[in-house]
Structure 1
Amino acid sequence: MLVIHKTWCGACKALKPKFAASEEILKLSSDFVMVNVEDDEEPEGSQFQPDGGYIPRILFLNSDGVVQPDLINTLGNPQYKFFYSNALMVTEAMKSAVKALGGSKNDEL
């Protein structure tokens, strides 16, 4: 799970405390390698901008490190498929990713 954000971004700043406060994100995170990149750490390549370079973006990658463009925010704006503004959006996408990419360590999924 790749979280791309910028320190100066208002939407990124708004998401950060919601993300950090979510017990469900914390629980689900045991099924992921969580990678947080900001500012100049953003990876280059069109695969990391499947529908644009807006921020924040959350992308899911398979075990080979390949971005999975079908794992999107189904609760958000379809024009910005990888933009997340609250914890519920993130947790729903995480659950979808676990199902699509195989298995969970959590009994509740």
Structure 2
Amino acid sequence: MAYWFLYGLLFLLSCDASLQRKKTPVQSLARGWGDEIRWVQTYEEGLSKMEESNKPLMVIHHLEDCPHSQALRKVFAENKDIQRLTKEFIMLNLVHETGDDNLAPDGYYVPRILFIDPSKTVRGDITGKYANHMYTYEPTDMDVLMENMIKAKILLHSEL
């Protein structure tokens, strides 16, 4: 009788452990940058949707464990004006580099944000305020990022 009790107890413990493993949350494509934003999964998907919609593509390169990326992500996600402006873009955040060297015009560093217009041109003329890392933004640079988002929209309509 004691064996049946121990067997039943072990069975219940193993079931409880398997249920706990299933409760781990699935990471969304937002990765903390804004859950209300429609994110594309890959660069190729972003290019395709950009052509279909005639909206510019905004690519955010970052790393999950980078303190600079984490700080920028927090401010980006909390900024209601930027979150609202993202509706005018195809949005992609990448934690891995693509094979396209055009997405690293001044080097491979994070965080960096680039804009691509529907003609598949990386807009090298839309930069942040730093000469050594032209496409990086600090948490205090949200006004510069917002201006650049507006500039990307205006250039799209005036050049195409």
- TM-score grouping bracket, smaller chain normalisation: 0.7 to 0.9
Deviation per CA, 1:27-85, whole angstroms, max 9, x where unpaired? 211211111111x3x21232011011111010000113331111111xx2122110011
Unaligned runs of 5+ in 2: 1-57
Unaligned runs of 5+ in 1: 104-109
- Distance in 2 (CA, whole Å) between partners of 1:3 and 1:91 is 14
Corresponding residue for 2:53? none
The correspondence of residues 31-70 of structure 1 with structure 2, limited to 5 A, is: 31-38=88-95, 40=96, 42-70=97-125
- Distance in 2 (CA, whole Å) between partners of 1:77 and 1:49 is 15
- Distance in 2 (CA, whole Å) between partners of 1:14 and 1:26 is 16
Q: Which moved more, 1:48-57 or 1:88-97?
A: 88-97
* Secondary structure at 2:81 match in 1: helix
Q: Select the structure that is richer in helix.
A: 2
Superposed CA RMSD in Å reads 1.4
Corresponding residue for 2:134? 81
Aligned length: 99
Would you identify which runs of 4 or more consecutive aligned residues in structure 1 move more than 6 Å?
none
- Distance in 2 (CA, whole Å) between partners of 1:80 and 1:48 is 13
Corresponding residue for 1:23? 80
Residue 54 of structure 1 aligns with an amino acid whose one-letter code is Y
- Distance in 1 (CA, whole Å) between partners of 2:76 and 2:114 is 15
* Secondary structure at 1:102 match in 2: helix
Structure with higher Rg: it is 2
